[in-house]
Structure 1
Amino acid sequence: MIRRMILAAAVATACLAAPCAGTAHADQLDDILKAGRIRIATDLAIPPSGMMDAAMKPTGSDVETAELLAKDWGLQLEFVQTTGAARIPNVQTGKADIIISTLSVTPERAKVIDFSRPYAALQSVVGCLASLDIKGWDDLKGRTIGVSRGTTQDTTLTNMKDRALTIARYDDDATMVTAAISGQADCVATSATIVHQIGVKEPSRPFEPRVPITTFDLAVGVRKGEPKLVEKLNAWIGENLKNGKLNAIYKKFHGSELPENMRS
């Protein structure tokens, strides 16, 4: 009897540390549908992907993508405002259900979250003040390059140790853009779209894309171990790429169409 009691206690302790056989795994998609709402982490300080309009209402390509998703799924939409560095922790800690926030697909990120199929693309560049003669990486020596902390551009430039780049990190894209507008930064590493936005905000300091970094697929981020949610997202993205709705949203805010291979 004592031995059986000890064995039962050991099994119970083990089940606290890890799920036991036969224990049901909570499914996030079921939880979302049951709640009737979806919480989406979106950075609202990176125009034109996410921003606030004159009436302080969220707008932008990621915002309209999130709104379309919630509408198609018949769910109430709750935006979880975030920054680049906080996007992934938001879903890991359960603060948000998914991420729609210019989230580039990278091998490093795929180790800690899962991705949907791509719904958009991001051309990553170093953009500089138009009056500067910058044609390649060698021309950037001795110049400070502004970058948003925790972004793929931050990671890429940090790993380019052989080029001895000088990097100034900002907490978010809005702060980085402000630095460029105010003259604190003459070069920034970000998306080509944001580079163009600098000149829109301050015509006296137009920036131009000068050094290409790479082109990233943008996808919806989901916490690890939610295959049903990823499958449903993939089906939704495929349908809305085919019917042109996602391309129309992207073109409305970015002024160009999605890559042809993504739309076909």
Structure 2
Amino acid sequence: MNRRLFALALACATAFGAMAQTAVARSLEEIIASGVLRVGTYADQPPMASLNNAGEYEGFDIEVANHIAAVMQVEVEIVPLTTAQRIPFLQSGQIDISLGALTRTPERALLVDYTIPLHSESVLVLTTEENAITTWRDLNAPDQTLASGRGYWTTDMVKAELPEAKQDLYDAPADQVRAVAQGRATAIVDIIDTMMVFTEQYPDVNWKVIESEIYSAWCAIGVPRGEEGLKNFLNVVIYNMHSSGKTQEYWAKWYGAPNQKPVPLDPVF
């Protein structure tokens, strides 16, 4: 196939895909009429969302999903997703909204729409009072051992930014926190809110967060492209959650501490 025909075929396929997405994405009115809100999030990422021993979903995302559904007066259907599935499931209409700490990026904004921010995602340093460092750059030394997550994007960032530090890899946030608590590592450089909940297991450790921000982004709720009614409704609900303190209440319940960088309260959106 020559380039012109290939370009034409690609354009047709793209247009067909866009029409298919429009045909299957449900409007706010259709969701309410169905009586069910289909929410995509993780099934194995506590305290964001996970299955408990009773086989029920729980976590921050579940609290938010239930709150939204209660306002809509519909039931919630949790659709478990991997990180890579969050955008395609929205585009294909398999879910109505996507949670799962969906960070706002220009690349994703080409594919789906975002609500106003639901919470922040900040990379900070978690260490103990015994460590005399004052900024994250102080960790760039051979005598600093960092407990990093295996396969995390933050692990690659730490390796590039703090090449002198030693990195030990762990399979889960709980293992990273345990390593610092037991003195096998001196610090963690990672998404701080995910780590804080596990520090409660070590009340005798004098934990310290270095407040020099390394990275921060806003996470919002993803909605299918063009569903303005649904997006506007969610914006109002999220704003009311922020202004009433519900967002921080849910966050503190599951993460063990308030969100490190609260969303600024702005009624204009």
Shift of residue 51, structure 1, vs aligned partner: 4.0
1:205 CA displacement: 6.4
| C-alpha contact 1:148 1:176 (8 A) present in aligned 2 | no
**Preserved contact between residue 37 and residue 77 of structure 1 (Cα < 8 Å):** yes
1:8 is matched with none
Once residues 39 and 206 of structure 1 are traced to their aligned partners in structure 2, the CA distance between those partners, rounded to angstroms, is: 42
Change (3 A) 1:58 1:124: same
Displacement, 1:116? 0.5
1:167 positional shift = 6.4
**Following TM superposition, by how much is the alpha carbon of 1:220 offset from its aligned partner in structure 2, in angstroms?**
0.4
Alignment CA distance shift 1:138-1:78 (3 Å): same
Code of the residue aligned with 1:208 in structure 2: it is K
Shift of 1:234: 1.5
Structure 1 residues 42 and 260, CA, compared in 2 at 3 Å: closer, same or farther? Answer: closer
- Does 1:17 pair with 2:13? yes
3-state secondary structure, aligned to 1:233: helix
**206 and 177 in structure 1: CA distance in 2 versus 1, 3 angstrom threshold:** farther
5+ residue gaps, structure 1, are 1-12
Aligned residue for 2:265? 262
Task: Compute the displacement of 1:207 (Å).
Answer: 5.0
SS for the counterpart of 1:101 is strand
TM-score (norm 2): 0.68
Counterpart residue identity of residue 231, structure 2: V
The reply on whether 1:176 has 2:173 as its aligned counterpart is: yes
Native 8 Å contact 2:41 2:98 kept in 1: yes
Match of 2:26 in 1: 29
Distance 1:18 1:46 in 2: 33
- How many angstroms does 1:69 deviate by? 0.8
Q: 254-263 vs 39-48, which deviates more?
A: 254-263
Shift of residue 117, structure 1, vs aligned partner: 0.6
Corresponding residue SS for 1:99: strand
Spell out, residue by residue over 1:112-154, the C-alpha distance to the aligned partner (whole angstroms, 9 max, x if none).
4321111233333132355444433242344445147566x46
Match of 2:236 in 1: 235
Between the aligned partners of 1:54 and 1:204, the Cα distance in structure 2 is: 28
Q: For 2:100 and 2:10, locate their aligned partners in 1 and report how far apart those are by CA, in whole Å.
A: 38
Q: In 2, distance between residues paired with 1:170 and 1:90? A: 30
The count of corresponding residues between Structure 1 and Structure 2 is: 244
The 1:46/1:134 distance shift into structure 2, 3 A limit, reads farther
After superposition, where does 1:49-198 map in structure 2 within 5 Å? 49-53=48-52, 55-84=54-83, 86-128=85-127, 131-136=130-135, 137-142=137-142, 143-147=145-149, 149=151, 153=154, 157=157, 161=160, 163-164=162-163, 175-181=172-178, 186-198=186-198
Q: What is the SS of the residue equivalent to 2:241?
A: helix
For 1:230, give the aligned amino acid. K
Instruction: Please report how far the alpha carbon of residue 64 of structure 1 lies from its aligned counterpart in structure 2 after TM superposition.
Output: 0.7
| TM-score, structure 1 as length reference | 0.69
CA distance in 2, matches of 1:149, 1:88: 21
1:66 shift after superposition: 0.6
- Contact 2:147–2:176 (Cα < 8 Å) also in 1: no
Q: Report the 3-state secondary structure (helix = DSSP H, G, I; strand = E; otherwise coil) of the residue aligned with 2:189.
A: strand
Contact persistence 1:117–1:237 (CA under 8 A): yes
Structure 1 pair 108/260, CA: closer, same or farther in 2 (3 Å)?
A: closer
CA distance in 1, matches of 2:149, 2:88: 20
Q: Structure 2: 5+ residue runs without aligned partners?
A: 1-8
**Aligned partners of 1:112, 1:167: CA distance in 2, in Å?**
36
Structure with more of its chain in strand, by fraction? 2
State the identity %: 23
One-letter amino acid of the structure 2 residue matched with residue 256 of structure 1: P
CA–CA distance in structure 2, aligned partners of residues 40 and 200 of structure 1: 29
| Residues 131 and 81 of structure 1: CA distance in aligned 2, closer, same or farther (over 3 Å) | farther
How far apart in 1 are the matches of 2:82 and 2:128? Answer: 25
